[in-house]
Copies of this chain bind each other. A is one copy, B any other.
Amino acid sequence: MLYESNQRSVLKAISWRTWATITTAVIVFIFTGEIALAVTVGFLGGFAKMGLYFVHERLWQRIRYGKKEIPSFVLWFTGLPASGKKELADSVYQKLKKDGLKVERLDGLDVRPLFPETGFEPVDVNRHVKRSGHLCAMLEKNGVIVVASFVSPYREGREFVRNLAKNFVEIYMKSSVENCEKRDVKGHYAKARRGEYRYFPGIDIDYEEPVNPELVIEVDHLPHEAATKQITSYLKKHIISKK
């Protein structure tokens, strides 16, 4: 909850006075040609009005009119492991934060310790997505923008989160399994191929592509910078526009 301090009002009063006193003095001088009178009226009025300005600011601090909320939303990155969700989500998060917006970042793996009993079987994964969806929706409802990145391989789980959220922006990180595997420096795909991981999307279970996502990022063809821009432009056009 933001509020404006007394000091802010004092500083605004001083800053305003500098403009206004000069304006008054100039007008009085133009009409009377008397520089002494112009200065006297300017300064005397200035002092009186500085106090008045402060009171005026404090009264307006109590008035809500015209104080508008920037709508919050859930930005949901979905895609195969190593499709670049985390990196792109991080960039967009940083960009929004830099713009002074209130934003929270949730990554599938980082959220897991909050629900320590969650496994990696399909039913667990989907439950994890839904639980995290509740978290996203509650933050969104309270005016926080959420940047979430989850493999979230099942359509049903993603649709569940979409229905919880008010403004849901699904971003599909489109990339072939082959390219993801090339990109995978941690060797997860290799482990899955050797059978050390089970239920690995793209290897032994399907990743269900989004049917109608708000945005598709062509990961294999689009540089990181351009992808970040594609997303922030979309947000500015469709959600954050203040008009």
Q: Which residues of A contact B (CB under 8 A)?
A: 1-9, 11-12, 15-16, 19-20, 23-24, 27-28, 31-32, 37, 40-41, 44-45, 48-49, 52-53, 56, 60, 64-70, 72, 100-102, 104, 114-117, 127, 131, 134-135, 138-139, 141-145, 242
Given contacts A9-B66, A12-B56, A117-B127, 7 further A-B pairs with CB under 8 A are A4-B68, A6-B66, A8-B67, A20-B20, A24-B45, A104-B141, A142-B144
| Complex Cα–Cα for A23 and B17 (A) | 14
Contact A66 B131 (CB under 8 A): no
Contact (Cβ within 8 A) A69 B2? yes
On whether the beta carbons of B104 and A138 are closer than 8 Å, the reply is yes
Whether the pair B4, A23 counts as a contact (CB closer than 8 A) is no
**Which residues of chain B are within 8 angstroms of A53 by Cβ–Cβ distance?**
16, 20
Name the B residues within 8 Å of A16 (CB-CB).
Answer: 53, 56
Q: B52 and A23: CB pair below 8 A?
A: yes
Residues on B with C-beta less than 8 A from A127 are: 116-117
Asked if A67 contacts B2 (CB within 8 A), the reply is yes
9 chain-A/chain-B pairs, Cβ below 8 angstroms: A3-B68, A8-B67, A9-B66, A20-B52, A23-B48, A24-B24, A27-B45, A114-B134, A135-B138
Do A37 and B32 touch across chains, with their CB atoms under 8 A apart? yes
Report chain B residues within 8 Å CB of A24.
Answer: 24, 41, 45, 49
- A140 CB to closest chain B CB (Å) equals 10
Chain B: CB-nearest residue to A62: B100
Are A52's CB and B3's CB within 8 A?
Answer: no
Closest to A44 in B: B27
Chain B residues with CB under 8 A of A131: 114-115
Q: A3-B242, A41-B28 are known contacts. Are A104 and B142 too (CB-CB below 8 A)? A: yes
Min C-beta distance of A93 to chain B, whole Å: 13
Cβ-closest chain B residue relative to A48: B23
Contacts of A116 in B (CB 8 A): 127
Choose among B11, B41, B101 the residue that contacts A65 (Cβ–Cβ < 8 A).
B11
Per a CB cutoff under 8 Å, which of B5, B72, B142 touches A68?
B5
A23 smallest CB distance to B (angstroms): 6
